[in-house]
Amino acid sequence: MQRREQRVDPLVTSESYKSEKVQQWLAALTTSEVLWNAITRVVAPDLFQAGNSAFSQAIKEVRHGSKKNPKNPAPVDSWPSIFSGLEIIANRVTFSHRDAGGSPSLFDLLVSLGRNHHATLALADLHAQLDYSPGAMVYIAGQVLKHSVGPWLNGERVVIAHFMKDAVHDRVGVPRPSFPMQSFFLELVGGKSRKRIRSRR
């Protein structure tokens, strides 16, 4: 029988996270993750704040738990992302699906890497095909929108999928973020939102 975590259960890192190879990989990825964190702060500030707050609270709890097991402490300081989970997808077709474990406003960040490929990201609910070539970054409401990646021609395809677990945010008492709004971006570039324009009529 599979055990289901409860809100009262302590937060712990995965066993693989402690391995030397994973720590080396995270160290190599840190500079890129700092950039992706900064981009998230600009395009989805509430998402960034929620992830950053949840991460800070989670670190405190994991450190507290590590004091009970000082012989094998979790190296939580080496985690470079405001997202609570990372997944590597390499040279794999991804069937149409919605993500489990998040919430509608906890956007996933998909970073397309690799070389010499011209893959596309399909959003079935929107009847849309997005360019998914190396260097593309996509923020997606993965729990809401079905998404998939079909076969592609040539090249090597690698994706680093970033996601946040709603259960983790709930566990540390961080509320779900609001959705990014068009008015925020208009104000960011010095424009006027529709709401402000209408208020002057």
pLDDT for residue 179: 86
Between CA 164 and CA 86 the distance in angstroms is 9
| CB within 8 Å of 158: residues ≥ 6 apart | 88, 89, 90, 91, 112, 113, 114
pLDDT for residue 81: 95
Pair 180, 132: CB distance under 8 Å: no
pLDDT for residue 104: 92
Q: What is the pTM of this model?
A: 0.82
Q: Which of 66, 42, 41, 43 is nearest to 51 (CA)?
A: 41
Pair 155, 115: CB distance under 8 Å: yes
pLDDT for residue 198: 41
Q: Which two tokens stand for residue 18?
A: 């402690």
Measured CA to CA in angstroms, residue 180 lies from 14, 43, 46, 170, 177 at distances of 31, 8, 8, 21, 9
Q: Which two tokens stand for residue 164?
A: 């946040």
Q: Which two tokens stand for residue 134?
A: 């190396």
pLDDT for residue 72: 58
The pLDDT profile of the chain, 201 residues, written as one tens digit per residue, is 334 445 566 777 777 888 889 889 999 999 999 999 999 998 899 999 999 999 998 888 877 766 666 555 667 778 899 998 999 999 999 999 999 888 999 999 999 999 999 999 999 999 999 999 999 999 999 999 999 999 998 999 999 999 999 988 998 999 999 887 777 777 777 766 554 444 333
